[in-house]
Amino acid sequence: MATPDGRTVLMLSDTVWELHGDTIRGIDPLIEPLVYTEDVPFPDDVLQSVDIAFFSADCWPGRSRGIVVSILKSPNLRWLQTFSAGVDSPFFVDLMDKGVTLTTASGSSASPIAQTVVLYMLALSRDMRRWMRQQDERRWEQHRFVELEGATLAVVGMGPIGMEVARLGIALQMQVEAVRRTPSGDEPCVTHGMDSLHRVLSRADWVVSALPLTGDTRGIFSAEAFTAMKPGARFVNVGRGELVDEPALVEALRSGRLAGAGLDVFAVEPLPADSPLWGMENVIITPHNSATSTSTGARSEAIFLENLANHVAGRPLRNVANGRRP
């Protein structure tokens, strides 16, 4: 539902409007901005006319409540662009159930997340925590470590993040193979269907989970999956926490079946203080932070601007999530 004179109403943050207002006006000179400047929802009567909303990274997490409530209370919203790549939040599911077109910023965080995966692998392979403890203690003590070159890397999930992880693995001269729902043939490494998951896991020195959360992938890293892995393998999860049976992961780490893990996502976030993962010397924990670079938000804004131009021109939108179910 546009304004009475037919203008499209776009809800967006003050930061995005300040940075890109001229570009937005260039795309659609008649667009009517509804600029979110505080951290409280807009009045209900104002929200009646909203057609499009952009949930941008500058609103997360500090100002997210007000804009999320405003989006949910916009009865005529037709399209939401989000800065995130995942669509498993109940917020997004509710909107899609209402018929709102949801587009994501898939691809905008692939580079920093993949680089964080490499950080985990380098740190775990070299026992970086040991070096840091020794530095704190001013203690000079050398130790041997394993190299990544020549090691086998299994990437599970080949969206933009998985593709970039595979590319970086190849650059490090690792032996890379991947698993995805439907291999396309344009992957940078040998890629198998999901029915080969356990066979691929059995060959890997490093396993990286970059899957989205769906009904088919929830709990896919089960006790059986960890048992299938090569003894002494290391596991990295930058997908979603619910992909993993965490008690099974803890047991695999405690038993030595797995030599270590780098974890950015968890079934419950923040990770509860009583989780045994916190106290494990062979685990690196980051607070769902692998994508939060100073450049990720700008890339998601570029996707929004591209999609706004597509919308105005009647072209297909990029990264439409409708149809993907958690």
**240 noted as active-site residue:** yes
Report the interhelical angle of 90-97 vs 64-72 (nearest 10°): 20
**149 noted as active-site residue:** no
**288 noted as active-site residue:** yes
What DSSP string runs through 127-185?
Answer: THHHHHHHHHTT---------STT-EEEEE--SHHHHHHHHHHHHTT-EEEEE-SS--S
Q: How far apart are CA 169 and CA 189, in angstroms?
A: 10
Q: How far apart are CA 318 and CA 308, in angstroms?
A: 10
Q: How far apart are CA 240 and CA 210, in angstroms?
A: 8
Of 288, 306, 318, 324, catalytic: 288
Of 269, 281, 315, 325, catalytic: 269
* Contact between 56 and 300 (Cβ < 8 Å): yes
- Strand-pairing partners, residue 226, are none
* The pair of three-digit structure tokens given for residue 152, joined into one six-digit string: 């086998």
Of 63, 240, 299, 311, catalytic: 240
* The pair of three-digit structure tokens given for residue 158, joined into one six-digit string: 């080949």
Catalytic residues: 240, 269, 288
